[in-house]
Structure formats: structure tokens, C-alpha cells
């Protein structure tokens, strides 16, 4: 075990694999980001709610990031370990160690398993599965994707030895072969793992036709599972350092945001915005909507009230970005935020339902779709943009209210993180909807990597406990304060927003047959 008394500084390599790419970091044991690199990869969208990526792209991007990071010979000599976090709910069937059974695998946001959802609903009902596994009955849990593969790609299923997940596949390709594994957070996102007993549920696996021997060992995120492969270490110019199991991105982000104790959390603003909480006492949603999963440690859980509303921002810039006329602005968001300064809250009577690829919590409606409501001839692109931001704020508000009103959680701490946390207008819209103040962090987009490094350093004894780790690594720079005037306006518009979805729910469902 290492101690800060005997080692003044260590450097940890941290890989954070998100929806759009891999970001790699060199982070020192005092929480400083010394260098970073990012390599993107492609997402493939297809009919039938398919959202896929090529897992080899993750490995390639990870190694490319490590190469960039290790160019600095002065820093690489102090590298003491490597840790990985990635999206939760991205399924990877493997036919042998480090080799996927598919060229493209379903991402966490893939909603293809609609029929499998209904099969499971008929067999078990919603409440049984939610009480045992913490997963709402939607197409998101990876067990349903396993079922889909068996029913639609049986040859792939038959040659699959094990089912693993996003980060696990990358770790497998970075260390020498051993028995496949995952961590608690990914295991509990399957809908086949008991979040109380911490074990696979044979009854669920048997009834869904997924063989138990295709499941993997489940470990704490802090467990060291091997050393960096010799050929990779040699190419990077570093020694063979220990590698941990790693964590799901949400769990790692909570720790990196300082949410290490009960009822503390983060407001994550990215492709899939969410309000996440660390829990030291298991609390479930009485209406079975909020996923509650095992955390990085055995004695904790975390809840992840996730929307898909952030996809709308990507869609907006993809379709309209070329027409913004932002030549004197380095960032089109700054341009649009300035344009929005003169627009009243409520976007001059324009509401946006941000369900561009369906919606998760709390609606649990994969058939929902986006809609601008109230669009008229006087509205411009800036009105549409502000309406999208307000739609994201309303979607997060729905989830926050589930925590407070339905689950009875008194939230003690919320910090902003994710790329969208740098958007000042969006932050103000969110806190004025939630009527809370949000902590601003020095490194809001890097919380997952920082959290994973905290876990790694604790695992080797560098920190005596996570409170010490938080004091060293998590650095705040202020607060985003709720605006009382905005609170009043959003109280009114929020009710119209909710009514709009209720009235359009059946319309969205009826349009399914016409989608390509």
C-alpha cells in the first residue's frame, strides 16, 4: 500500500469513454489535470430505434489518447496506474477475451428491445423487477438487449461466451487475459442483478432465456484486475502499472463531483442530462421510474434520473448551425446566449418537448418525439434555441420532483458537471426550475475521470478515506443561484409543458408506424 507520507506525487492515467469519444487524462494525486487528449468515434443510428457503436473504435481511441498523454517523458515516469470509466447500459457480447461477437453493439440509448420489454412485462410485471433490480421496465436495461440478440441474431448469441459492457471491453484489451468481469454499476443496469443481495437472479435469467453462464463475475470498482499489457506499456514508454475494474460513468462522476455521501448529487448536463444521487440507504421510486443501481462500493447505491433531452442540442446545431452567422464568435453557444438575452422566459410563447429519440425518466416513453408548440411567424432560431434549453430544464425538473415528492429524499448537495455545465444560460434555467443553488466546479467536464482517480488512489492506500480524497481532488469555484423571477414564470409554463405531453402521447404512439 502506498501512503502520501512516502510518495509526494503520483500520476494516474484515466480514460473516460462517453457517447461521442474517449477523453484521456494525466491526473496527479493532488487532483490537478496535467494533460488531456480526446479522440472521437462514430455513432450509427438506424431504423427501429437502433443506436450503435463499433467497440474496436473505443479501444483504438483509448490507445491513441494514451499515446498522446505519454509523449511527455517528464510526466510518464511518474505514472502509477490506469483506470477506466464508460457509459452504463452499453452491451458488448464477446466470443472470447477482448473479441466482440458483433461489429456494432447497442448503446445505452438504443431502444430496439420494445417487444422484449413487453414479454418481460407480461411474465414478471413492473414492480417485481424494480424491487429486485432497481430498473424501470423500459428497453434500456441490457438484459432486454441480450434477449433481442437471441431472438433476432441467434447465431451471434450462440457464439457469445460472455456479456460484458462498455468499460469492460476496453479494460480487457488493455490487460492480460483473465476471467471476464464487470463492476456493480454495470451489473445492476442489466435488470438481472439483485441490488440487495449483490448476485445474479437465476430466476430472471432462466425465464428470459439468457443462460446464467454468459454472465460475468462482479467486482468493486476499486479492485485491481491486472497490469497494463507489456506491449502497450512499452509503446507508451511507461512501466506495467496496475489497472482497476473501473466504474460506470455516472457513478464515477458522482464521486468526482464530490457527491460521496447520502442524498448528495450532481446535475449532469450532456447528451443525456440527469440528476444523480449517491445513497447510503436503498430508496426506490414507488412508481418504478427512477433507476437505482449499485454504486462503486458495496454499501452504497446511486439513483440516476436520466432524460434524453440533450440529444436535441446536437440535432439543433447539426441542422441549423451553418445558418447562425457566428463568424466573430469562437463558440456558437455564446452567440445564441447573447441573442437570447432579449427574449423573455418562455421563449415568447414557444414550448419545446425534448424527446428527439424518445424519453427515459420519468416518462419511460420510447415512442415520444420532439415537438415545438406555439411556433409562429415571429419566432427565430434564437427562440427555438431558448425553447430547447427550457425544455431540458423542464425535463430535469420532472425528475427532481420525483426525488423530492415521491421518493422523499431531502437533497443536501448538488454540483453541476458535464459539458453543458459551461452554458451559463442553461445553468440559470435549470436552477430556477429546481429552485436550488448549484455548486460550480473547477473542472465540471472532467468529473468522471477525477472520480475514477479518487477510487484508484483510495484502492492503493494513498487516501485514508473518501472524505480526504474529496478535500484534495474536488475543487469548487462558486454557485449558480436560482432567480426568483424566473421561478415564477417557469412554475406557470411547466404546467403547460406537462399538459402538452399528456395531450400528444397518443399522437406520438400512432406515428410509430410511419417512421422509416
Domain coverage including residue 112: 11-245
Residues 241 and 262 in one domain: no
Residues 130 and 80 in one domain: yes
Q: Which of 112-121, 242-251, 328-337, 401-410 has the lowest mean pLDDT?
A: 328-337
Residues 349 and 236 in one domain: no
Q: Is residue 456 part of a domain?
A: no
Q: Give the model's confidence band at 333: pLDDT under 50 very low, under 70 low, under 90 confident, else very high.
A: confident
- Please choose, from the candidates 448, 419, 85, the residue with its C-alpha nearest in 3D space to the C-alpha of residue 253: 448
Could you give the number of structural domains in the chain?
A: 2
Q: Is residue 463 part of a domain?
A: no
Q: Is residue 480 part of a domain?
A: no
Q: Which of 192, 212, 245 is the last residue of a domain?
A: 245
- Check residue 377 and report its DSSP letter: T
CATH code: domain of residue 78: 3.30.420.40
Q: Is residue 453 part of a domain?
A: no
498: which 3 cell numbers? 406537462
Residues 498 and 407 in one domain: yes
Q: pLDDT at position 76, please?
A: 92
CB contact set of 467 (below 8 Å; sequence gap of 6+): 260
Q: Give the model's confidence band at 298: pLDDT under 50 very low, under 70 low, under 90 confident, else very high.
A: confident
Residues 347 and 223 in one domain: no
Q: Is residue 462 part of a domain?
A: no
Neighbours of 469 (CB within 10 A): 24
> What would you report as the CA-atom Rg of the chain, rounded to the nearest whole angstrom?
22
Considering the chain, what is the average pLDDT of its residues? 94
Residues 366 and 233 in one domain: no
Q: pLDDT at position 447, please?
A: 96
**To which residue does cell 424494480 refer?**
130
pLDDT > 70? residue 15: yes
Residues 240 and 334 in one domain: no
Q: pLDDT at position 1, please?
A: 40
pLDDT tens-digit readout, 399-436: 999 999 999 999 999 999 998 999 999 999 999 999 99
Residues 333 and 386 in one domain: yes
Neighbours of 143 (CB within 10 A): 26
Residues 236 and 285 in one domain: no
Q: Which of 210, 245, 280 is the last residue of a domain?
A: 245
Q: Supply the DSSP string of 26-73, one letter for each residue.
A: EEETTS-EEEEEEEE---EEETTTEEEE-HHHHHHHHHHHHHHHTT-H
Instruction: Tell me how far CA of residue 227 lies from CA of 2, 58, 173, 241, 245, in angstroms.
Output: 17, 19, 11, 5, 11
Amino acid at each position: 500500500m502506498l501512503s502520501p507520507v512516502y510518495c509526494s506525487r503520483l500520476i494516474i492515467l484515466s480514460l473516460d469513454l462517453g457517447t461521442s469519444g474517449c477523453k484521456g487524462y494525466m491526473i496527479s494525486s493532488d487532483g490537478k489535470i496535467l494533460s488531456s487528449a480526446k479522440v472521437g468515434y462514430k455513432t450509427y443510428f438506424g431504423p427501429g430505434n437502433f443506436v450503435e457503436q463499433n467497440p474496436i473504435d473505443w479501444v483504438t481511441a483509448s490507445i491513441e489518447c494514451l499515446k498522446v498523454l505519454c509523449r511527455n517523458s517528464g510526466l510518464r515516469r511518474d505514472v502509477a496506474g490506469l483506470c477506466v470509466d464508460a457509459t452504463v447500459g452499453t452491451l458488448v457480447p464477446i466470443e472470447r477475451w477482448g473479441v466482440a461477437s458483433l461489429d456494432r453493439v447497442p448503446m445505452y440509448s438504443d431502444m430496439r428491445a420494445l417487444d422484449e420489454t413487453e414479454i418481460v412485462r407480461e411474465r414478471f410485471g413492473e414492480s417485481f423487477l424494480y424491487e429486485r433490480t432497481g430498473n424501470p421496465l423500459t428497453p434500456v436495461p441490457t438484459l432486454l438487449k441480450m434477449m433481442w440478440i437471441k431472438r433476432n441474431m441467434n447465431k451471434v448469441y450462440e457464439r457469445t461466451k460472455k456479456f460484458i459492457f462498455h468499460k469492460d471491453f476496453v479494460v480487457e484489451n488493455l490487460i492480460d487475459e483473465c476471467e471476464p468481469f464487470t463492476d456493480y454499476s454495470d451489473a445492476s443496469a442489466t435488470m438481472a442483478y439483485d441490488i440487495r443481495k449483490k448476485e445474479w437472479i437465476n430466476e430472471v435469467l432462466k425465464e428470459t432465456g439468457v443462460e446464467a453462464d454468459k454472465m460475468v463475475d462482479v467486482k468493486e470498482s476499486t479492485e485491481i484486475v491486472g497490469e497494463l499489457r507489456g506491449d502497450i506499456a512499452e509503446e507508451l514508454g511507461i512501466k506495467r502499472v496496475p489497472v482497476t475494474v473501473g466504474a460506470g460513468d455516472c457513478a464515477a462522476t458522482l464521486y468526482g463531483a464530490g457527491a460521496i455521501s447520502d442524498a448528495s448529487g450532481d446535475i449532469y448536463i450532456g447528451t443525456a442530462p440527469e440528476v444523480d444521487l449517491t445513497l447510503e440507504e436503498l430508496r426506490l421510486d414507488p412508481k418504478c421510474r427512477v433507476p437505482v443501481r449499485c454504486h462503486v462500493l458495496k454499501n452504497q447505491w446511486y439513483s440516476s434520473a436520466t432524460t434524453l433531452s440533450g440529444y436535441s442540442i446536437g440535432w439543433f446545431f447539426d441542422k441549423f448551425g451553418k445558418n447562425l452567422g457566428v463568424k466573430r464568435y469562437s463558440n456558437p453557444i455564446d452567440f445564441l446566449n447573447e441573442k437570447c438575452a432579449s427574449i423573455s422566459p418562455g421563449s415568447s410563447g414557444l414550448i419545446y418537448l425534448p424527446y428527439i429519440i424518445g424519453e427515459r425518466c420519468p416518462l419511460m416513453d420510447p415512442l415520444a418525439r420532439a415537438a415545438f408548440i406555439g411556433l409562429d411567424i415571429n419566432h427565430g432560431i434564437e427562440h427555438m434555441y431558448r425553447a430547447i434549453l427550457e425544455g431540458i430544464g423542464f425535463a430535469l425538473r420532472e425528475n427532481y420532483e420525483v426525488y423530492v415528492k415521491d421518493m422523499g429524499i431531502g437533497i443536501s448537495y448538488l454540483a453541476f458537471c458535464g459539458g453543458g455545465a459551461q452554458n451559463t444560460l442553461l445553468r440559470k434555467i435549470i436552477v430556477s426550475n429546481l429552485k436550488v443553488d448549484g455548486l460550480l466546479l473547477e473542472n465540471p467536464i472532467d468529473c468522471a475521470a477525477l472520480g475514477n482517480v479518487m477510487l484508484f488512489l483510495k484502492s492503493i492506500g494513498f487516501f485514508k478515506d473518501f472524505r480526504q480524497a474529496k478535500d484534495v481532488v474536488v475543487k469548487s469555484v462558486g454557485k449558480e443561484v436560482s432567480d426568483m423571477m424566473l421561478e415564477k414564470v417557469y412554475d406557470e409554463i411547466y404546467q403547460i409543458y406537462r399538459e402538452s405531453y399528456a395531450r400528444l402521447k397518443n399522437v406520438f404512439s400512432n406515428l410509430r408506424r410511419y417512421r422509416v
